[in-house]
A and B are shown apart, each in its own frame.
Chain A
Amino acid sequence: MDPKLLDDCVHCGFCLPTCPTYQLWGEEMDSPRGRIWLMKATVDGTLELDRTVSERFDRCLGCMACLTSCPSGVQYDRLIELARERVEEEVPRPWRERLLRKVVFALFPYPKRISFALRFASLPAPGPFRPLAELAPPWRERVAPPMVTPARGEKIARVGLLTGCVQSVLFGEVNKATARALAAYGYEVVTPYNECCGALALHAGHREDGHDAANRAYDAFKAAGVDVIVTNAAGCGSHMKDAHLDIPVRDVSELLAAGNAPELHPLPYRVAFQESCHLGHAQRVREEPRAALRSIPGLELLEPADQEICCGSAGIYNLVQPDAARELGNRKAGAVLATTPEIVATANPGCAIQLAASLRRAGTPLPVVHPVELIDAAITGSWEPKSRRHAP
């Protein structure tokens, strides 16, 4: 690990209040400041990197709230990535964890396998897989946008939509809505790459795998001759942006903001927007999705309290740290429900799954959608939240 990156931390503690694990347990070693301190100690050799240390890194959600709250510009994203890589190399895990991680990584990056596994998710799952089964949304038919969707009106650019692994299986509708909405705003949308971009692997300490997948995606988009790569899953977006490709990467909301807005039909609903950590904290895209939602006539945008705190989804976190994830999910559901919304919008598939599961547990299964689905509905003027089979 790079000691220079570690030295940026001046131990001021400004990152503590927005760290979800510090909120949960109030323990220094489960705060960004504490984790960085442990990284320092293992790097300068005064502390051994063993399970008691690596567990602290495992418990980090990678939500990047600490990136936003740190005034000293500490690159915690880089730090935790490097720490996780070291952990995977140096610290053996107990068999249960190894097994779970193996299964997760054999499953998630592969759309076909997720789709297959979902058919069995309603069957009783053995111990370590129970959280996986608990979260799993009902199986559904896979749908995908066309290979090419022509721009409506004057074409601004040719954009390549990353359809993603989890997104393409569970939220094919979101991909279709994204393509339609972008087309209506003046973009020609193509979908040359339908695999995992590597975000999940990278965030779990498999850095090489993560970079390889991002490069494969890049090659496909390059070959398709796109001007911009567009993502609608915040986690994938932040990963692709971090890969420093020579094709610009944008979140769908950023393109909407720069596009030619068509006339929108009113959607008279109270919509709570939950910022995804990887959109707000990691990509610093905050205003654009809100602006998109506000542009819909009649829509009332609601901001739940503690917006900056993670919902507990965080990549595979809700699978490997189920208790903490469930507690954070409950808190998030409480904050969202306090705004008395009719619809909940969030810009990441993991957050959508987690929010939906948490709202179900709270006994209030509201529809959870991607903001772009509302834009799409406002374009076509056909939105029937009550009749639609929502979930996940």
Chain B
Amino acid sequence: MRAALPQDALLEDEASRRTYECDGLTGRRSVPDLVILPGTVDEVRAAVRLCHAHGVPFVARGAGTGLSGGSLPVAEGVVIGLSRLDAILDIDLARGRVVVQPGVTNLAVTKAVSSAGWYYAPDPSSQQVCTIGGNVAENSGGAHCLKHGFTVNHVMAADVVLPDGELVTLSRDDSGPDLLGLFVGSEGTLGIVVSATLRLLRTPQAVRTWLAGFESTDKAGDAVSQIISSGILPSAIEMMDSLTIAAAEAAVSAGYPKGAGAVLLVEVDGPLAQVDDDSAAIEAICRACGAFEMRAADTVEERARLWKGRKSAFAAVGRISPNYYVQDGVVPRTKLPEVLRSIAALEAEHGLRIGNVFHAGDGNLHPLVLYDAAIEGQSELAEKVAVKILDLCIEAGGSLTGEHGVGVDKACSMPKLFGADDLGVMLRVRDAIDPAGISNPGKVFPTPRLCGEVPGPYRVHPLERAGLADRF
């Protein structure tokens, strides 16, 4: 690597490598042997080629905000950090497209085009820091994905360095199977994105945000179901419960209704006339469902104030608890109240506080399990509770992850949702692109090493039997 890359692209000293030992899932750590910070696409390719030639595993890393351990380094492997590839390469407003390098932050895309009346729709709460590369890898979403879709709906093409160092362009316009679609959400297991062409949307004529305070999550959940079934498609419906409201108040003085057991944030966008119509209907529904306080905001500043509490909710929980575990699961919208009650029962049973903040519109839950790592056994307990929550989601007919990905965190839960045949097919696809298994190994798929002696329905793959691949 020293011969192939400039000295300042290599971080070799222990202190520097230590700072890369984990992402947002800080409980899982592993210090990489080397961190590479390429400054050009060629340097990415050179690094990957060398890894391939020597069978060294590599892990791509954006801003390290992932919450499922996706960029957790592999021991005796390298981390390839894309933070220095942070240029916006092209802005083509006539076609509503931008081309960006992977280290560009999500918010920087919108900032670059907002004055011209455009924006980039997927908006994870971490948008000020998370990178487009990480977004593509995780198929990240955000509050506004209810109406506008996830990252996968907004990536039109991507240049990708495959695990053998080959550079390919994947595009929506390609004929044949949707390889771009396959790549989005593959969590770094199929290679490294080195540029992405993104679709922009026009800033809507009008946007209105409603804040509604309810006595309980039951009542708020009821309002959500009724809004959706009335045929309105808000751009976002977000819910926070009393615990996360308290955290957000402490952090940013969000000014949410006092004494609320739940707040809803409902946003509608589009032509003004439609926004007015939808707004009136939403207000009526919320009030009928028991909203005791409602506020609307139209201007950017006022809306930002309403959103502020929601956007900083995760991090704000750091103020009321030394540690917390963010879970990410999906349930059918109609099962929301039921699952929330079961979560409350888990809270009582295990004595750990659980806060709920979620994309209510599409049933994507983000329960926050609060714990104190300094208390013996609490970390393990929190993880156990988080897994139980996931079980609740699956039982309710939902799914393992809405947007944070599988990573290492949920690899062992995969067999709960997918049968042996499903997993086998997924593994074969991965093998086809990364036969040596060096691109972010140990993530997404359950392995005996990761999941202990009973790895679920894991079967030896023909390639492994043939001695061609043995890293799973």
Contacts and interface: CB of A to CB of B under 8 A. Distances in A.
B375 interface: no
Nearest to B64: A13
B7 interface: no
Interface in B241-276: 250-252
A291 B317 CA distance: 34
Contacts of A47: 14-15, 18
A12 interface: yes
Contact of B315 (A7, A10, A17, A56): A10
B315 A16 contact: no
A13 B65 contact: yes
B126 interface: yes
B15 A17 contact: no
8 contacts: A10-B323, A22-B83, A26-B103, A28-B20, A38-B18, A41-B18, A72-B316, A73-B318
Interface string A1-38: 00000011111111011000010011111000110011
Of A11, A17, A71, which is in contact with the most chain B CB atoms at under 10 Å from its CB?
A: A71
Contacts of B318: 8-10, 12, 71-74
Interface in B31-81: 37, 63-65, 81
Interface residues of B, number: 40
Nearest to B11: A27
Contact of B64 (A17, A28, A41, A69): A28
B128 interface: yes
B172 interface: no
- Is the interface on chain A under 10, 10 to 19, 20 to 34, or 35 or more residues? 20 to 34
Which 4 A-B residue pairs are closest in the complex by CB-CB distance?
A: A72-B318, A26-B83, A71-B315, A71-B312
B105 interface: yes
Nearest to A54: B15
B19 interface: yes
A220 interface: no
Of B103, B252, B314, which is in contact with the most chain A CB atoms at under 10 Å from its CB?
A: B314
Nearest to A10: B318
Contact of A38 (B15, B103, B324): B15
Nearest to B318: A72
Interface in B389-437: none
A22 B319 CA distance: 25
B149 interface: no
A81 to B, nearest CB: 20
A52 interface: yes
B63 A27 contact: no
A71 B18 contact: no
Given A16-B129, A71-B318, 9 more contacts: A9-B318, A11-B26, A13-B64, A13-B65, A14-B128, A16-B63, A17-B128, A28-B19, A72-B319
B16 A27 contact: yes
Nearest to B105: A17
A24 B35 CA distance: 17
B86 interface: yes
Contact of B129 (A8, A13, A41, A50): A13
Contacts of B314: 12
Given A41-B18, A72-B251, A73-B319, A11 B24 contact: yes
A74 B319 CA distance: 9
Interface in A42-69: 47, 50, 52-53, 56, 69
Nearest to B66: A13
Contacts of A26: 37, 81, 83-84, 86, 103
B453 interface: no
Contacts of A41: 15, 18
B13 interface: yes
B448 interface: no
A10 B128 contact: no
Contacts of A70: 315
A205 B81 CA distance: 32
B431 to A, nearest CB: 32
Contacts of B323: 7, 10
Given A37-B18, A38-B18, A47-B15, A13 B312 contact: no
A53 B24 contact: no
B322 interface: yes
A52 B15 contact: yes
B22 interface: yes
Contact of A29 (B19, B86, B130, B316): B19
Nearest to A23: B86
Contact of A52 (B16, B86, B316): B16
B315 A12 contact: yes
B358 to A, nearest CB: 18
Contacts of B83: 22, 26-28
Interface in B262-311: none
Given A7-B322, A13-B129, A14-B315, A34 B251 contact: no
Nearest to B111: A305
Interface in B98-124: 103, 105, 107
Given A12-B65, A37-B18, A56-B15, A28 B251 contact: no
Of B14, B83, B84, B315, which is in contact with the most chain A CB atoms at under 10 Å from its CB?
A: B315
Contacts of B18: 29, 37-38, 41, 47
Interface in B187-206: none
A52 B13 contact: yes
Given A26-B84, A26-B103, A71 B16 contact: no
Contacts of A53: 15
Contacts of B312: 14, 71
B129 A14 contact: yes
Contacts of B13: 52
B164 to A, nearest CB: 26
A17 B107 CA distance: 10
Contacts of B14: 47, 52
